[in-house]
C-alpha cells in the first residue's frame, strides 16, 4: 500500500518488540525509584520547613495580639500604656523633624534664588 508517498506494510502498529535487556530494565526501574524517593524526601523537607516557619509566624502574631489586648484593657481603665506614649511622641517628633527639614530646605532655596 502507498499512503501519502510512503509504503505501508500491513501488520501491527507501533514499535516492534525488541529483545529487552531485563537487567537494564530492572536497573532503570531501580534508579527511577531512587530518584522518586529522593524527590519525595526533598518535598517533605520543604513542607516541614514551611509549616514550622508558619507556626513561628502564628506565635509572633498571637503575642502581638495579646499585647494589643492588654493595651486596650489598660486604655479602658483610663491608663495610657507607655509604649503608646512613646509611639505618639516619636511620631510627633518625626513630624516636627520633617517640618523643620522642609523649612530649612525652603530657606536655602529662597536664599539661593535671591542672590544672583
- Residue-wise pLDDT for 60-83, tens only, equals 999 999 999 999 999 999 888 888
**pLDDT reported for residue 116:** 46
Cβ-contact 85, 75 below 8 angstroms: no
Q: Which domain holds residue 64?
A: 22-88
How many domains is the chain partitioned into structurally? 1
**Assigned domain for 26 exists:** yes
**Assigned domain for 61 exists:** yes
Cell of 82: 507607655
Cβ-contact 24, 30 below 8 angstroms: no
Helix axes 22-76, 82-114, angle to 10 degrees: 90
**Assigned domain for 114 exists:** no
**Assigned domain for 42 exists:** yes
Q: Is 38 helix (H, G, I), strand (E, B) or coil?
A: helix
Question: Is residue 42 predicted with pLDDT exceeding 80?
Answer: yes
**Assigned domain for 79 exists:** yes
Question: Is residue 7 predicted with pLDDT exceeding 80?
Answer: no
Cell of 10: 500491513
The bridge status of strand 2-3 relative to strand 6-7 is antiparallel
Cell of 89: 511622641
Cβ-contact 80, 74 below 8 angstroms: yes
Cell of 18: 525488541
Amino acid at each position: 500500500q502507498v499512503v501519502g508517498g510512503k509504503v505501508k506494510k500491513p501488520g501491527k502498529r507501533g514499535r516492534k518488540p525488541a529483545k529487552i535487556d531485563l537487567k537494564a530494565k530492572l536497573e532503570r526501574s531501580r534508579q527511577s525509584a531512587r530518584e522518586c524517593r529522593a524527590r519525595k524526601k526533598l518535598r517533605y523537607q520543604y513542607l516541614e520547613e514551611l509549616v514550622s516557619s508558619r507556626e513561628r509566624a502564628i506565635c509572633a502574631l498571637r503575642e502581638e495580639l495579646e499585647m494589643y489586648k492588654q493595651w486596650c484593657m489598660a486604655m479602658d481603665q483610663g491608663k495610657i500604656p507607655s509604649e503608646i506614649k512613646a509611639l505618639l511622641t516619636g511620631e510627633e517628633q518625626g513630624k516636627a523633624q520633617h517640618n523643620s527639614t522642609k523649612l530649612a530646605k525652603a530657606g536655602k532655596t529662597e536664599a539661593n534664588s535671591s542672590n544672583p
